[in-house]
Each structure stands twice: as structure tokens, then as C-alpha cells.
Structure 1
Amino acid sequence: TGRCYMTSQNHGYAIDISKLPDDFEELFINANDKTNEGIIHRSLPYFSVQFHPEHNAGPEDLEYLFDVFLDVIRNNHAIPLKQMLAEKLKLLNVAPSLPSIPKKILIIGSGGLSIGQAGEFDYSGSQAIKALKEENIQTVLINPNIATVQTSKGLADKVYFLPLVPEYVEQVIRAERPGGVLLTFGGQTGLNCGVELELSGVFQKYNVTILGTPIQAIIDTEDRKVFTERINAIGEKVAPSIAITSVAEALEAAEKLGYPVMARAAFSLGGLGSGFASNKEELKNLATQALAHSNQLIIDKS
């Protein structure tokens, strides 16, 4: 067929094709040294190979040969074996469509940093820009913080010093029309912004592909209740917890779980509003602060 396959080789000899009986012909050839790797009978259901088509530790490109063999034995097909193999090859060798690489990518930047706060997202964003430039991809950065490495002159192709909120990001998307967007280099702020833009249909409206972590995975991990459900679905254990949206619900949940409890805010920056509570008064204060930053709170049994 002219197609190439990867297999695990393990033989110390090769058949001399020039001395094959007339009823046999060559089936596979080693692309490196042109030696024989398999023969097939012209009319009878006989064929053999000199490699491991099923090799568990390596390529499994030709594992289907076992299916062909069993099919011939069980059903005694009248179709010539070589024709069966050729038809199987056609079915299994449809070239996968490669995703097109965007020519321009929007990066949600690291945003503002407090004194003493770590700048890991500034660093990772800078590395992302460098990597994209090496691939000759145009980079557009949104970052309101002028005191970052990634906003340095000459790094990104274009920088917008705008707040990391959906309204401004949509304006940049409308003006620049990027083919893709990277959300994971903007920390919690970038993730929250990306989720809002996805839910409002902005990315779909402007045909922007979300690169890296899928948006649904971000939503599932940021929403504490959904994350717990996903973990339970695969049989992993998690601490008993209840999702709440008000202080009264938090107190009720703690009574069911029993003190001490841990409160965790969803979609919060660096765990803002999260903490431990040993009694009603501590939980009331903690829940009041947490719900000021997030619309959902998870009460876990500590």
C-alpha cells in the first residue's frame, strides 16, 4: 500500500524474497534496510510477519492483523486475504485532521500584584510569550500592571494596559480578532474572566479557541460542589462537604457535619475567605467574609 508503520523488531534473520515459492509474495518490507518483514500466500489464508504487531511496551500500529487472522479462521471468507488486509488498512489509516494553529493568540496577563506577593503568573506568562514568538505566532497581551516582566517593551507584539474584566477583554477581542486565547497565565482573575466570557458566548461569537486547559475543566475544578461530584464519580474519597450560599446555610451545614469545619470559597483569589471554624461564632464571621468575595462556599468536615 505504500504506508509506513512502527513496530517492535526482534529477529535475527530475514527471508530471501528471490527464493520464495511462486504461491507466496512479500507483504511487509523494512523501510530501513529493505529486508523482508512479512509474506502472504496468493490464494490461501496464510500470512506471517517478523515483528511484534501487538507489542505492549511500544507501537501497536498493526495489532489489527490478529483481527484479520481470527476473522478468516472463524468465517472462512471467500475474499482473498490480501484484499481483506488492504480494505482493513483503508479503514484504519484515515489521517486525523490536525488542529489549525492560530496566527494570533490573546494572553490574559497576571494582573496586579501586592507588595510581597509572588509573581509566578508574571513569570509563566513571560515564558508563554517567548515560546509563542519562537513559533512565529503573534501575541496580544492584556495586563493592567506596567511593573511586570511580561509587559516589558519588545516582549509581546502588542500590550493592552486594561483591567482584566470581561467588558475590556471583549473589546480587545473585537479589535484584534485573535484565533486563540490562553487563560491559565492570568491566575484566578484570568480564569474567572475566561469563564464569564465563555458563559456569555463571547468566545463563540468571535470564533476564539480556548487553548490549554478546557473551559469545562476550569469550571469543574473552580466550583467546589461540582469538583466533589466529579471526584466521587471516579470512586475517589473526599471529605464530607455541603455547598452553601448564605451564612444561615453555613451554620446549618456545620450542625450536620459537626465541628470543627473548614470553609472554602469557590472562584476565589488564592483561597481568599477560606479558613477553619471550631464553633458557630467563628463560622459566622468566616462565612460573612467569604461570601463577600464569592457566591458559593463549601463547608467541609475537618
Structure 2
Amino acid sequence: MTDDEDRTILLIGSGPIQIGQAAEFDYSGAQACRALQEEGARVVLVNSNPATIMTDPEMADKVYVEPITPEPIAEVVRKEEPDGVIAGLGGQTGLNVTAELAEQDVLEEYDVDIMGTPLDTIYATEDREQFRQRMRKIGEPVCRSETIESMDELENAVEAVGGLPVIARTAYTLGGSGSGVVDDTDELREIARKGFQLSRNHEVQITESIAGWVELEYEVMRDADDSCIIICNMENIDPMGIHTGESTVVTPSQVIPDEAHQEMRDSALKVIRELGIQGGCNIQHAWRDDGTPSGEYRVVEVNPRVSRSSALASKATGYPIARVTAKVAMGKRLHEIDNEITGETTAAFEPAIDYVVTKVPRWPKDKFSDVEFELGPAMKSTGEAMSIG
């Protein structure tokens, strides 16, 4: 890799606004573009949505409005010969296409580094069986689950996790697509068939149901020196079984005891270190009161990228997660990144808030009058409102 001033960095946008992937990703992408230019890098942006802020001419040195699929992006790589690509700033779409480019040897052929979070980490978080094994390695509790590759394995998988109800989940998807909490065999078969069609690796995970547990999220930041901070934690008012994008969310958490918060805080730091994530990530836990001081929790999943939750955390705390993630990918350490709000501290300081922030989702009932807007594991909301008090 060349010096910062000579680097050409490929940034992959999130594409069109859709359910599960809306303006939050443009907010993060625009932050990242500015951060990379501050470091003297030449920014090449690929995004299929020309109506975004990040595709404005001043946001990048070269903008390509192309489909976010491997073929057109491979052409951009051949033409621009970037030194590196940052996978985690274009949401799930950017993450998936970066993995596909690596699998097709495009990145290796043109000597393009995956900056920040390594490819192995992307696989470890998106492949649910790999993720479960990595969590067990460090002693973190996870739900009982079985990964299946065909409908013939479905019945045995349900028995292995303790029977119905179960949660069916797919890998490499966004907004809970192909997922569901089910207690009926016929419905489970239908969801599994849909999951196989949507999953990039043709796998569906059958997991014991923890519907009704409290869902909590931790936004965590880590640099190459293994310095980690917790940016904030968020509590979903609606329980597990309801997609976090469908739930009202409050930060900081309100109902869990401090012992439980400290335990899950330690868990989040263990998880990000085990996975080797560099930059920001979102770690989801499920918790329930079992009568002990700290209760019982499970590590549910990790998003090694910017997300809806990271945009909320940035706005709630003032900590620019996408900006810091971009600079960490460029090799900066947290203590070397200035906090633009305070003007005195650095990104290595955990933000502290003395107020409560609430996010409420919005469902487009005026546009989709024939859709049943019932809360569930798949996301249907297309926007949200935030309040501070």
C-alpha cells in the first residue's frame, strides 16, 4: 500500500433505497467520503443511486453510477486500479459484493486490499455456523442451532434444537429477509424454501426460539492496536422475535440491571476482539431475568459494518461512527483521530450522555395499503423518527 496521499480507495455504496437499507447508509457513506479525503486519499465511489448525497461530485474524486453487482464493479477495479476497498461502509450490499469480488479473485488479480475488517471476519459473522463456533471458542453463550443446506435436513434440525417453535434465519441478507419465528411445520417449510432462494450460500439456520427475551444492541469500535470502546448500548422496547428495524429503540437501556449491562459490555468487547473487526460494529444480545442479579443472555449476531443502529448511535451520542471507521481502515489509531465536537478529546474516549434518545419506526401505510403491517422478524418500516429528552 502506498502513502495516504497517493492511495486510491474504492468505496462501495449501498445502492437504491429499499426496506432495510435507506437514508442511514447515505448518511454514513457521505461521512466516510469526507473522512477519506481528509486523509488525502483519492476516493472512487460506486453507487447505483444517483439521488444520494454521497454521489454528489464533491463527495468523491470519481463517481460511478453503476449496479452494485460484481461485474460492473470489477470493471471499475480494472479501470481505476484502487489500492484498497472498504467493505463495511455500504451496508449489507457492499459487504456481499466485496465478498463476491474476493471469491472471483478480482481483488487478488489487481492487488486490491480489503481495508479494515478482513474477509475472514465477514465470513465468520455472515456464516451462522462459523459464528456459533467462534462464540463457543471464547465461552460466549449462543442459541442452540443447526445449519441446513436442503429441505431433507429440516425435520432433524428442528428436533436437534428442542422442537417448535424455532427461528429460521438466512445468511447474507438484509432486513430479516427469509427469516421467521414459526410454530407450525407447514409454515416453517415455506419460510425455509424462501430462505434457500434468498441466501447467497444456500444455507438456512434453524435456531431455538428466544422470542420474548429483551433485545439489546452494543455499538463497539476497535482499531488495529486492539483499543476498543463501547459507543453506546440500545434497548429494543419490543422483544426478541420482532426485527430491530420494526422496534421502538431507546438509548441508554432502561430496564436491565447494571450487573447485566456490565456483563454484556464485557461480552461485546470479547466478541469484537475474537472476530478481529477493525472499525465500528453492531453486536446484538438477548437477555432475560432468570432471578439472578445479572440474568441470562445470549449473543445473537454481529454486523461488521455500518448499520441503521450505528446511524442512530452516531446521532444519539455525537460520535461519528462512519468517519472513525473510515480513518481506522486507513490505519489511524483511535487516539490519533480528533473528536470534532469537543475539539479536545479523541475517538478513544467513550461518549457519555445524560439524556434519553428514542427511535420510533414509520410504516408506509399510505403507499402500501394492501400490506399487513404486523410486527415480526422481517422488516417492513421504511423510515424512523428520533426524539431526545
Question: TM-score normalised to the size of structure 1?
Answer: 0.65
Find the aligned partners of 2:103 and 2:88 in 1 and give their Cα distance: 17
Q: CA RMSD in A?
A: 1.8
Where do residues 105-124 of structure 1 align in structure 2 (5 Å cutoff)? 105-114=9-18, 118-124=22-28
Superposed CA offset, 1:164-218 (max 9, x none): 1111111101000111111111111111111111122211111111111111101
Alignment check: 8 A CA contact 2:10 2:44 kept: yes
> Cα offset for 1:99?
7.9
The change in CA–CA distance for 1:172 and 1:99 in structure 2 (over 3 A counts) is closer
Aligned AA (2:53): V
Find the aligned partners of 2:123 and 2:3 in 1 and give their Cα distance: 25
SS at match of 1:299: strand
Alignment check: 8 A CA contact 2:9 2:82 kept: yes
> Cα offset for 1:247?
2.4
The change in CA–CA distance for 1:235 and 1:117 in structure 2 (over 3 A counts) is closer
Alignment check: 8 A CA contact 2:21 2:91 kept: no
Find the aligned partners of 1:177 and 1:116 in 2 and give their Cα distance: 31
Find the aligned partners of 1:213 and 1:256 in 2 and give their Cα distance: 33
Find the aligned partners of 2:57 and 2:111 in 1 and give their Cα distance: 29
Residue in structure 1 matching 2:181, options 244, 252, 276: 276
SS at match of 1:270: coil
> Cα offset for 1:251?
2.9
- Residue range with higher mean Cα deviation, 116-125 or 240-249: 116-125
Question: Does the alignment pair 1:238 with 2:142?
Answer: yes
Q: Which has the larger radius of gyration?
A: 1
The change in CA–CA distance for 1:217 and 1:281 in structure 2 (over 3 A counts) is same
SS at match of 2:58: coil
Find the aligned partners of 1:226 and 1:115 in 2 and give their Cα distance: 27
SS at match of 1:129: helix
Q: Report what 1:180 is aligned to.
A: 84
SS at match of 2:98: helix
Residue in structure 1 matching 2:50, options 146, 149, 158: 146
Find the aligned partners of 2:10 and 2:20 in 1 and give their Cα distance: 28
The change in CA–CA distance for 1:117 and 1:254 in structure 2 (over 3 A counts) is same
SS at match of 2:197: coil
Aligned AA (1:274): S
SS at match of 2:139: coil
Q: Report what 1:190 is aligned to.
A: 94
Q: Report what 1:208 is aligned to.
A: 112
Aligned AA (1:204): E
Aligned AA (2:184): N
Alignment check: 8 A CA contact 1:262 1:276 kept: yes
Higher strand share: 2
Find the aligned partners of 1:151 and 1:128 in 2 and give their Cα distance: 12
Structure 1: 4+ residue segments shifted above 6 A? none
Q: Which runs of 5+ in 1 are unaligned?
A: 1-97
> Cα offset for 1:111?
0.5
Superposed CA offset, 1:136-159 (max 9, x none): 211000001011110112211111
Alignment check: 8 A CA contact 2:84 2:112 kept: yes
Count of aligned pairs between the two proteins: 205
Find the aligned partners of 1:255 and 1:201 in 2 and give their Cα distance: 40
